[in-house]
Chain A
Amino acid sequence: MKITLNNRAEELDLNQPTISIEELLALKSFTYKMLFVKHNGVVIKKEDYPVTNVAEGDNVEVIHLMTGG
């Protein structure tokens, strides 16, 4: 499955047509404690990561948020 992840083309080797945001974060080792996710331009709430599916051609942005201000 080909997607765009943080503005880079990414090819995922999957046995299924879609992958949840939660699975994608684990697969790509996004281990930051605090982050937010945009899927096809829409901000996805953390509680919706397991039920939001990423499919062929989708655009996902994962942004690390850090303390300071």
Chain B
Amino acid sequence: MPTFDEIKSILSHYTVGIAGAGGLGSNIAQALVRAGVGRLIIADFDVVSESNLNRQFYFADQLGRYKVEALKENLLRIRPEVTVEIHNLHLTSQNIPVIYPTVDVMVEAFDVAEMKRVLIELFASTFPSIPLVVGNGMAGWGNSNTMAVREMGNLYLCGDGVSEVSVNLPPIAPRVGICASQQANVVVSLLLSKYFGNENNP
């Protein structure tokens, strides 16, 4: 089995795309930077608000700042040599193929279900060979064992597949973190499988 230095050295050659920098995207980015991924491409249009701090990888002194800029700053504090390409915009089916064509693995980290579908359909038709890792169902608390990874060909669905966010079932750090970590774990596993086989399945 490889050492962490070997793992980090392999991951440094790869680019991962992340669509969205909220509860999933910001935490996935943090995990991937710590694991050693060399380059991230992250897009989001939003600014950091107080309600984000219950789960997203931002700080109180970053309220009001654009998420992608605050996130890049935080990621560079973890590992200054990482390359973080940011796009401060609304992702659409028009600009997604322009922003993410060079990624080795793509991560869906949107909030809104409609955008999850747009990305799934777009990647299946435009970049069918790029694995897509989706977060689907992480609202509320407890039920840790319902969080799972479902493999559907080149598409990986993480989360419980049932819990929709609502006023009475808000997204909270622990369960959003489980989903984000499952997504990051699938990404690392896919990238390392080229070197160490599929012994550790995604």
**Cβ distance B77 to chain A, nearest Cβ, rounded Å:** 24
Whether B125 contacts A69 by the Cβ 8 Å rule is no
Question: Which chain A residue has the least Cβ–Cβ distance from B112?
Answer: A67
**B138 interface hit (Cβ, 8 Å):** yes
Question: Which chain B residue has the least Cβ–Cβ distance from A41?
Answer: B153
Residues of A within 8 A of B (CB): 33-36, 38, 41-43, 45-46, 61, 63-69
CA distance A61 to B111 in the complex (A): 23
Residues 138-172 of chain B, each 1 if its beta carbon lies under 8 Å from chain A, else 0: 11000000000000110101010111110000010
CA distance A65 to B157 in the complex (A): 10
Knowing A38-B152, A41-B153, A43-B155 touch, does A68 contact B121 (C-beta < 8 A)?
no
Whether B109 contacts A69 by the Cβ 8 Å rule is yes
CA distance A34 to B125 in the complex (A): 19
- Of the four ranges (under 10, 10 to 19, 20 to 34, 35 or more), the interface on chain B belongs to 20 to 34
| B12-50 residues at the A interface, CB under 8 angstroms | 20, 22-25
Residues of A contacting B111 in the complex (Cβ-Cβ under 8 angstroms): 67-69
CA distance A66 to B114 in the complex (A): 8
CA distance A41 to B25 in the complex (A): 27
Residues of A contacting B162 in the complex (Cβ-Cβ under 8 angstroms): 64, 66
Whether B138 contacts A69 by the Cβ 8 Å rule is yes
Q: Which of B117, B125, B171 contacts A36 (CB 8 A)?
A: B117
Whether B163 contacts A43 by the Cβ 8 Å rule is no
Knowing A33-B113, A34-B114, A41-B153 touch, does A65 contact B136 (C-beta < 8 A)?
yes
**B57 interface hit (Cβ, 8 Å):** no
Residues of B contacting A66 in the complex (Cβ-Cβ under 8 angstroms): 113, 136-137, 139, 161-165
**Cβ distance A7 to chain B, nearest Cβ, rounded Å:** 10
| B70-112 residues at the A interface, CB under 8 angstroms | 109-112
